[in-house]
Amino acid sequence: MLNQQNKSHNKLVGKLLLVVVGMFGFGFALAPMYEAFCNAFGINGRFVDIQKGSYDATVATDKMQLDKDRTVTVQFTASRNQNLQWEFRPMETSITVHPGEVREVKYYAKNMTGKTVVAQAVPSIVPGQASKYFNKMECFCFTQQTFAPGEAKEMPLRFVVDSGLPKKISTLTLAYTFFDTERRKVKDSAKIETNMRLAIKAR
């Protein structure tokens, strides 16, 4: 009787452990699911491949109905990943465009780390709903960029705002973050925290 009970315990515990392992995997599966969900519904500033923008250039030509009656302000910002010693900024911070009009702007980047860095820019558009109407035809964010020590580059971005952009949106902000593809965590977080503490004390 006792033996039999042990056997049924083992069977049940085995099943329950399967659930545990499965749910651990599910936790990780939430990451690609989240990505897929955002891509499918065009939310969170993600539409199709984040690196490529929404359409490639040939498709974009069909969408280029020039709408002279409407203007949209496009703002540009840039930020560095916190470990990266960079100069990185847009050459123009704000321009006004008509939907359907192809425009080109440049970003400036300079490697100040003293070593060769392969960097990748990651775009993000605010408001998120506008991201699927912002078509990048050419972008430095499509590829990784190699910078020699001290090298500076002007990097082009050619884009067109789709005339289907909802009427309520009149301003778009395009933000780029630059990060080192081979970044290693060099930061000593304890040190950062201690400095914060000291700063607070000093105040």
Partner 1 sequence: MSDHKPTGITRWLFTTNHKDIGTLYLWFAFIMFLVGGAMAMVIRAELMEPGMQVVDPLFFNSMTTMHGLIMVFGAVMPAMVGFANWMVPMMIGAPDMALPRMNNWSFWILPFAGTMLVSTLFMEGGGPAFGWTFYAPLSTTFAPASTDFFIFAVHMLGFSSIMGAINIIATILNMRAPGMTLMKMPLFVWTWLITAFLLIAVMPVLAGAVTMMLTDRNFGTSFFDAAGGGDPVLFQHVFWFFGHPEVYIMILPAFGIVSQIIPTFARKQLFGYASMVYATAAIAFLSFIVWAHHMFTVGMPVAGELYFTYATVMIAVPTAVKVFNWTATMWKGSMTFETPMLWAVAFVFLFTIGGFTGLMMGVAPADFQYHDSYFIVAHFHYVLVTGAVFAIIAGIYYWIPKWTGNMYDERLGKIHFWWSTISVNVLFFPQHFLGLAGMPRRIPDYAVQFAEFNFMSSIGGFAFGAAQLLFLYIVIKCIRGGDKATDTVWENPEGLEWTIPSPAPYHTFETAPKVK
101 or 142, CB closer to partner 1?
Answer: 142
d(CA 1, CA 160): 76
Sign of the CA dihedral 58, 177, 78, 184? Answer: negative
202 near partner 1, rule: CB under 8 A: no
59 or 164, CB closer to partner 1?
Answer: 164
d(CA 26, CA 57): 37
Q: Under a CB-based contact definition with an 8 Å cutoff, are residues 147 and 181 in contact?
A: no
Cβ at position 173, least distance to partner 1 in Å:
14
Among 36, 66, 152, 192, binds partner 1 (CB under 8 A): 192
Of 186, 119, 190, 188, the residue nearest 148 (C-alpha): 119
57 near partner 1, rule: CB under 8 A: no
d(CA 160, CA 168): 18
* Binding string, residues 117-136; x marks residues near partner 1 by CB under 8 A: -----x-x---xx-------
* Binding string, residues 81-120; x marks residues near partner 1 by CB under 8 A: xx--------------------------------------
d(CA 145, CA 1): 70
21 near partner 1, rule: CB under 8 A: yes
The dihedrals phi and psi of 35, each to the nearest 5 degrees, come to: -60, -50
194 near partner 1, rule: CB under 8 A: yes
186 near partner 1, rule: CB under 8 A: no
Q: CB burial class (10 A; 0-12, 13-18, 19+) of residue 45?
A: buried
Among 36, 40, 41, 169, binds partner 1 (CB under 8 A): 41
Residues of the shown chain interacting with partner 1 in the complex, contacts defined by CB under 8 A:
5, 8-9, 12-13, 16-17, 19-28, 30-31, 34, 41, 43-44, 50, 81-82, 122, 124, 128-129, 177-179, 183-185, 188-194, 196-197, 200-201
